[in-house]
Structure 1
Amino acid sequence: MMPHITVLPQGLQVVAQPGESVVDALRRQGWRSRYKCRRGGCGVCKAQLVNGRVRYLQPVAESVLGTTELAAGRCLPCRAVPVTDVVVDLGAEPLRAVLTSNPVSRTTTHE
């Protein structure tokens, strides 16, 4: 079963492929969230993991995402691979459609 990713505050939902990060799942389905390096080195994408579990296929530097932040539910969506269905709060910066014909039929929004 492939995990569902729900993105707050928009309520957008996408499905992650096996081994796919949150950012990559969003990009594959026509959405862009805040990120810069996509390697977990800058911390620009840092978000709140509201629910669910993620894992990191590669180590994340303590200087970018420390144990205190991890314990508080912070994650790096550019590297975070969902293990279960997850809810991620990206904060005030909205998702942007990167395709002119965004595949809305493959996503579900929740009010």
Structure 2
Amino acid sequence: MSNVTVHPTGEVVEVRDGETIMAAFYRTGYAMRIGCKRGGCGFCKIDVHEGGFEYERPVSDEVVTPDEASHGVCLPCRAVPTTDMVVEFRENSLRLVNPLMRYMLSNKEVPAKKPQTATRV
């Protein structure tokens, strides 16, 4: 499992082994600007500041040029982290759409409820 940290907000999402960055963000209550969701359009490009990834399937040089790739551009719809990563989403394309899901996932330990006792009136 790898962690992906969003620059500059510091939000952290756990990515399961073999899971794409996009799938992990959707699973944890986020949405992002997307196009085809299969690596053919390049609409979801993000910038990788730290860390490594592999593509689950090949990506065309026309979608992510060799120059972009050398400067840390990747497609989160196809990218599977190989290490912890720090990424930046372009043009505020990431947004939290399910705060409750995010809250529940960030609080893995749920406090036990106190037993209730009945009182007679």
Q: Does TM, scored on the shorter chain, surpass 0.5?
A: yes
Identity of aligned residues (%): 39
Cα distance in 1 for partners of 2:99, 2:10 equals 20
The amino acid of 1:44's aligned partner reads F
Deviation readout 1:3-59 (Å, 9 max, x if unpaired): 001112322101001111111000001111221211011111111110000100100
Which range moved further: 78-87 or 93-102? 93-102
Q: How does 1:55-66 map to 2 (within 5 A)?
A: 55-66=54-65
Cα distance in 2 for partners of 1:91, 1:79 equals 17
Q: Does 1:26 align with 2:25?
A: yes
The amino acid of 2:62's aligned partner reads S
Please, which runs of 5 or more residues in structure 2 have no aligned partner?
Answer: 108-121
Deviation readout 1:62-86 (Å, 9 max, x if unpaired): 1000111111111111111000000
How many residue pairs are counted as aligned between the two chains? 107
Please, which runs of 5 or more residues in structure 1 have no aligned partner?
Answer: none
The secondary structure found in structure 2 opposite 1:81 is strand
Shift in Å at residue 91 of structure 1?
Answer: 2.6
More helix by share: 2
| TM-score, length of structure 1 as denominator length | 0.87
